[in-house]
């Protein structure tokens, strides 16, 4: 897979994860099913996600779990809440807690699954050689 394709796939998965977060949240509150309501709720998290990609330079290692994964999650969470507040949307404590956990599972979790599957599917010849001790 090319580098550009890897970047595009990782970014698409991240955007889909934030969209899933919004869809499930809106569905659990019986929110208006219209596209305007959906975009109004999603844009703060989508914008913060893109900011997270910039802050972490995620394109250099898009599938990394801790970096950029955890960095993207943190910027998406904090930035999303700040953008929601700036646009007059709510940020109640229960929502903040749910968003913290859900976005972590979605944005870091898929990277963990990818890493586990990649390791499992790696041919034995691709493993790094082990260091051997040298005696003088």
Q: Which helix or strand (DSSP H or E) is residue 131 part of?
A: none
pLDDT at 134 over 80: no
pLDDT of residue 125: 56
Q: Which residues contact 37 (CB under 8 A, 6 or more apart)?
A: 26, 31
pLDDT level of residue 129 (50, 70, 90 thresholds): low
Q: What are phi and psi of 34, to 5 degrees?
A: -70, 155
Q: Please tell me the total number of residues recorded for the chain in this structure.
A: 136
Query: Could you report the per-residue pLDDT of 28-68, keeping only the tens digit for each?
Result: 887 777 899 999 999 999 999 999 999 999 999 999 999 99
Q: Which residues contact 136 (CB under 8 A, 6 or more apart)?
A: none
CA distance 86 to 8: 29
> At which residue do the structure tokens 């659990």 appear?
28
CA distance 61 to 130: 24
* 58 secondary structure, DSSP code: G
Query: Could you report the per-residue pLDDT of 76-118, keeping only the tens digit for each?
Result: 999 999 999 999 999 999 999 999 999 999 999 999 999 999 9
């Amino acid at each position: 897979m090319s580098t550009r394709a890897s970047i595009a796939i990782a970014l698409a998965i991240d955007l889909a994860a934030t969209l899933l977060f919004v869809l499930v949240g809106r569905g659990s509150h019986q929110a208006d099913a219209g596209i305007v309501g959906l975009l109004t709720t999603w844009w703060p998290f989508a914008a913060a996600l893109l900011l997270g990609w910039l802050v972490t330079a995620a394109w250099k290692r898009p599938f990394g779990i801790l970096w950029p994964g955890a960095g993207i999650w943190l910027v998406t969470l904090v930035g999303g809440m700040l953008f929601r507040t700036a646009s007059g949307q709510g940020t109640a404590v229960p929502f903040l807690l749910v968003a913290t956990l859900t976005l972590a599972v979605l944005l870091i979790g898929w990277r963990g699954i990818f890493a586990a599957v990649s390791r499992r599917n790696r041919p034995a010849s691709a493993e790094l050689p082990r260091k051997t001790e040298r005696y003088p």
